[in-house]
Amino acid sequence: MKILSLTAIASMVLLNISCSAQITNKADQNKPNFIFSKGKLGPAENFTGKAWNIGLVENDTVYNTVVGNVYFEPGARSNWHRHPSGQILIITDGTGYHQIKGQPRQTLKKGDIVQCPPNLEHWHGASPDTGMLQMYILPKTEKGIVTWLQKVTDEEYRNGK
């Protein structure tokens, strides 16, 4: 009887460990794969939700380029904005959106590269359920960096219009 009880207890413990590992693995699948540290929380006047930024290459007079990394938590997005020399986005993890004013919203996934033309209003951010990690490159910074505009409305975010 003791052997049967010990076997039953051991089986329940192993089953519990197995179930816990499966739950942990599913949770880990939804966590972004950070290459760089998360950085600092972006200002609420430029973002809806939480967007974290870290600069990787500071602006200087030799390269005239800024490079950084942004993590958009699920549902977070930038305001409409424009860059005098354009912007390149490299999606390194997650799922999100990018939209140029007057064009349909694009869905972005890991491995996508987006070229935002100079001076065109656009926004980008995470999908409602999944965060997004992106690297950004701002060339020719001697022309300026960014002009922040109005917030992306919930309807624009949901419908891409």
CB 74 within 8 A of CB 93: no
pLDDT in tens, 62-93: 999 999 999 999 999 999 999 999 999 999 99
The helix/strand/coil state of 84 is coil
Token representation of residue 17: 């460990």
8-state DSSP, 153: P
Query: Which residues, listed in sequence order, are joined to residue 93 by a DSSP beta bridge?
Result: 133
Interatomic CA distance for residues 123 and 147, integer angstroms: 12
pTM: 0.81
Interatomic CA distance for residues 131 and 127, integer angstroms: 6
pLDDT in tens, 104-147: 999 999 999 999 999 999 999 999 999 999 999 999 999 999 99
Q: How far is CA 82 from CA 49, 56, 139, in A?
A: 20, 20, 13
Q: State in words which class domain 40-159 has.
A: mainly beta
